[in-house]
Amino acid sequence: MPKADLDNENPTILNVSQLPSRRQKTRSARNGPDSKYDHILFPKQPWPWGPSKTTSSWPSDDDEDEVEEDAYHDEYTEEPIDEQEIYDLISTISDPEHPHTLGQLSVVGLPDIYVTPAPTERLDPRSLRTVLVELTPTINHCSLATVIGLAVRARLEQALPPNYRVDVRMKDGSHAQDDQVNKQLADKERVAAALENDTLRGMLDKMLETCA
Amino acid sequence: MEAAAHITPLAALKPDLYQRAWASVPHPTLPLLATTHANQVTVFSLTTLSKHSVLAGGHTRSVRAVTWQPAQPATRLRLVTGSFDASAGLWTWDAESAGLEREVTTAGAGVEEDDDDKDWEFNLVLEGHEHEVKGVAFNPSGQYLATCSRDKSVWIWEDVGGAGGEDDEWETVAVLSEHDGDVKAVAWCPDVAGRSSKARYSADVLASASYDNTVRIWREDVDGEWICVAVLEGHDGTVWGLQWEPSTTKGDNKFPRLMTWSADATVRIWTLREEEDEEDQGEDVSGGSRLFRSGLGGIPNTMRRSMREEWECTAVLPRVHTRAVYSATWSADTGLVASAGSDGLIVVYAEDGDGDADVKMASPSPQPETAAAAIESSAENGAEERRGAWRVLGKVDNAHGPYEVNHITWCKRFDAGAERKGEEEMLVTTGDDGVIRPWQVRISS
């Protein structure tokens, strides 16, 4: 996109030191750039599950379910992921038109991230947790809102365990076509198809390059 | 005592696909199941519960939907795939070279990996859609194929090949572009007793479900034009799919009902208001205050008035799901409905007052633990009165662990564990984890 077409030529930019932080970042991207969306396009079952024998409501059928039996219970104990950690995952995404991150441009903010049930509540690790991220595009008709939303959803689906459901929305009143963008970002099929689109994927790759 | 469904997992089909799988569609008669994942289809044998064959190399992007062409010669398998690459593909398995019987019954065992796809031939690409193809469906005779897409259109194609299907020749007979958003799924009304009982037009009826939150019903008029005869409004989110009532279990010769499911986390049942009803309720027509009245918004004025249909939402199934319902399935044998979706739940429902179900189930089931027994026990009141009342018989949490469930279908059992091969029904779910899992459903009262 040519520089002259910037939707917002003078966005407010926060210094890195002003961004919310726990100083020591606890989690960072675990995959190289080439594999950034692989698990979304082709999720490889990082936590292989099958109906587990430990669930009391299911009678065990030992001979049949061997394949699903896995070292899951040994390897995985849930460390709750809190809002700061979610923020750390997405604030470093680059804006598609400015040479700054979504955190610096205040497109994402710590108070606009909601984890339900709250991370402090300890649950059975298979229970669903919902992460809601409300985005504030730099101006209210930003044509790239969908792309930013897609990058946030892609980033979180890549980094979070499979029992997290990611909802990405435009903050109320922040974007002229809120409903349309929100509906698109909530549609699994459209998101999957978008990630197979080379042009879009090229943009996302570039935006996610800055994620540690 | 209230009837309950006991839903227990059976061994997953082998192998796991280890990547998102979208849908698994059983063959109408043979023990085969076609699963879409990445840019291919894996066909499983329901006899061995393992891989039968693979359809690969035809599409450049994900295959989202698949359907079996019905009414084929006994020596032939035919599949149509719908892909994000904007095309639909036509595939044929020719039994003369492969030995259909042998392959179907012994598949998986002793077949070399390299040979897996040698017998599926990619015959034809149906091009025309501008964006991702999301649904494909054949009418009951196999003559018409409907495809739908993110380009907001539904295309109807006619198989005009030779009688034996020797030539692959297809013609576009209609392009229907009245939806305001992606068309997610299409379904043809099955050829059941109620379909033609009061037919004033052609027998075939098509329904489409859309991102625009509506469902549309399409019929062919006397001039051979396909037109929209009803718009079903009521869902408060994308309508992910739809299925016609698979058999007229009511025995009343009514037109089949339509089941739809949505991102609004509900499953709904819609009923055509037939002519004698309209007279009964004549005063109500102008009232407009009835809940769930189907609207006719968006239908062009040029539409023949006589073809308009009134569809009403006559039931919302009990709300159990907390997130989008991606799939639901209605059994022709038992009338039971099962649904699944983003929340990982499987839910099984029964309709109360299903007075005819016992007749249908009586003959082939020696066991007392049948759906019929359960339904019978609760069917003491008049069926018509209680029509539309559904209740939950059972559910399973985390059916695919923490993953979303993209598809659920009733399916006949043919494996060694089946008590009545080819008759007994099971559920099959398809998940983001790439696991295709059968489930045994037992009803106790």
Instruction: For chain B, list the domains and their CATH numbers.
Output: 4-444 (2.130.10.10)
Determine the Cα–Cα distance for residues B54 and B34; give it in Å rounded to an integer.
9
**Per residue in B181-217, pLDDT tens?**
999 999 999 998 788 766 556 789 999 999 999 999 9
Is A179 an interface residue toward B (CB < 8 Å)? Answer: no
The rounded radius of gyration (Å) of the Cα atoms in chain A is 19
Report chain B residues whose CB lies below 8 A from the CB of A47.
401-402
- Return d(Cα A209, Cα B2) in angstroms, integer: 57
- In this prediction, residue B278 has a pLDDT band, given cuts at 50, 70 and 90, of very low
Q: What angle do CA B393, B342, B262 make, to 5 degrees?
A: 75
Q: What is the pLDDT of residue B104?
A: 55
Q: What fold is seen in the domain A78-208? A: GMP Synthetase; Chain A, domain 3 (3.30.300)
Question: Which H or E element spans position B210?
Answer: strand B205-210
Tell me which of A47-51, B25-29, B95-99 is least confident.
A47-51
Confidence of residue B416 (pLDDT cuts 50, 70, 90): very high
* Over residues B141-164, mean pLDDT: 91
User: Which residues of chain A have a CB within 8 Å of the CB of B84?
Assistant: 192-193, 196
pLDDT at res. B211: 98
Q: Which residue of B has its CA nearest to A190?
A: B150
ipTM: 0.83
Q: Which of B14, B325, B397, B429 best probes binding to A when mutated, by most A CB atoms within 10 angstroms?
A: B397
B16–A49 C-beta distance less than 8 A: no
Tell which of B398, B404, B406, B436 to mutate to test the A interface (max A CBs under 10 Å). Answer: B398
Taking only the tens place, the pLDDT of each residue in B58-105 is 999 999 999 999 999 888 999 999 999 999 999 999 876 555 545 555
Contact A188 B404 (CB under 8 A): yes
Give the one of A45, A61, A196 whose C-beta lies nearest to B18's C-beta.
A45
Top pLDDT among B163 and B412 is at: B412
Q: What is the pLDDT of residue B351?
A: 94
In the predicted model, is pLDDT for residue A57 greater than 70? no
Q: What phi, psi does B193 have (nearest 5°)?
A: -50, -45
**Which is nearest to B435 in space by CA: B402, B413, B411, B390?**
B402
The residue of chain B with its CA nearest to that of A163 is B402
Determine, for residues B9 and A44 on separate chains, whether the beta-carbon distance falls below 8 Å. no
What is the reported pTM?
A: 0.81
**Taking 60 as the threshold, does the pLDDT of residue B133 lie above it?**
yes
The pLDDT, as a whole number, for residue A3 is 46
**Conformational region of residue B335, where left means phi above 0, alpha means psi within -120 to 50, and beta covers everything else:** left
Å between B111 CA and nearest CA of chain A: 21
Give the gap in angstroms from C-alpha A193 to the nearest C-alpha of chain B. 6
Chain A residue whose CA is closest to B239: A187
pLDDT (average), residues A1-14: 64
Helix-then-strand count for chain A, H and E: 7, 3
CA distance A169 to chain B (A): 15
Q: Does A165 touch chain B (CB under 8 A)?
A: yes
